[in-house]
Chains A and B, each alone.
Chain A
Amino acid sequence: EPEVTQTPSHQVTQMGQEVILRCVPISNHLYFYWYRQILGQKVEFLVSFYNNEISEKSEIFDDQFSVERPDGSNFTLKIRSTKLEDSAMYFCASSYDRDNGYTFGSGTRLTVV
């Protein structure tokens, strides 16, 4: 069964550093998403991406965040200057259309120290 692949599975970074979280969505999917889950809290929507542009973003997705689809297969989330409160599990997801559920990756655990 096709999978969404995320790398790395765990990343530790120093406060103020830039991080890039990588995702390979399912190849024929058209919609791409990032979510995050702070430990013990809800899974929160960050951003959706379609047709090479952001289609929706939440209040969490401020100027420190950006997304890119640099080639035909990868979908990245960049955090420009990490803060302690950015520590969370980040999930990438993709879908073929907007009427069905998404396929999620296994997540990247980001720890900011």
Chain B
Amino acid sequence: GNSVTQMEGPVTLSEEAFLTINCTYTATGYPSLFWYVQYPGEGLQLLLKATKADDKGSNKGFEATYRKETTSFHLEKGSVQVSDSAVYFCALRYSGGGADGLTFGKGTHLIIQP
């Protein structure tokens, strides 16, 4: 079946540090890949997405590239801010066979210290 594996958290960084949150997936076929962010007390918000191999999703300074050869979709940001503190979820959706539910990773809690 489909699955998503994320690095365990919490990840604690200083402001302006470089961020990488690893995400790898297992899926049949060619899924679409997503990163969602959950700020304290709020719902899940779509951060970025990529729908095919070598696509790069980007938003708010965050980037992730769909790597089919390594089945990965790592999230990166060059210089994090305190306001980036949140839980980040990697997710996939299989594009074939009528399935449209998202499969999520466990989430990575990111803490940015001033």
What residues make up the interface of A, taking CB atoms closer than 8 Å to B?
A: 4, 6, 31, 33, 35, 41-45, 48, 55-56, 58, 91, 93, 98-107
Contacts of B106 in A (CB 8 A): 41-42
B20 at the interface (CB under 8 A from A): no
Which of B43, B91, B100, B103 is A107 in contact with, Cβ under 8 Å? Answer: B43
17 additional contacts, CB 8 Å, given A42-B106, A99-B32? A4-B43, A31-B100, A35-B102, A35-B104, A42-B105, A42-B107, A48-B100, A55-B98, A55-B100, A56-B98, A56-B100, A91-B44, A93-B44, A101-B34, A101-B36, A102-B102, A105-B43
Q: Is the CB of A33 within 8 A of B89?
A: no
B46 at the interface (CB under 8 A from A): yes
Q: Is the CB of A44 within 8 A of B104?
A: yes
What residues make up the interface of B, taking CB atoms closer than 8 Å to A?
A: 32, 34, 36, 41-46, 49, 51, 89, 91, 98-107
Q: Is the CB of A91 within 8 A of B51?
A: no
Q: Is the CB of A45 within 8 A of B43?
A: no
Contacts of B34 in A (CB 8 A): 101
20 residue pairs bridging A and B, Cβ less than 8 Å apart: A4-B43, A35-B102, A41-B106, A42-B106, A43-B89, A43-B91, A43-B104, A43-B107, A45-B102, A48-B100, A55-B98, A56-B98, A56-B99, A91-B43, A93-B44, A100-B49, A101-B34, A104-B45, A105-B43, A106-B41
Interface centre among B34, B46, B101, B102 (most CB of A within 10 A): B101
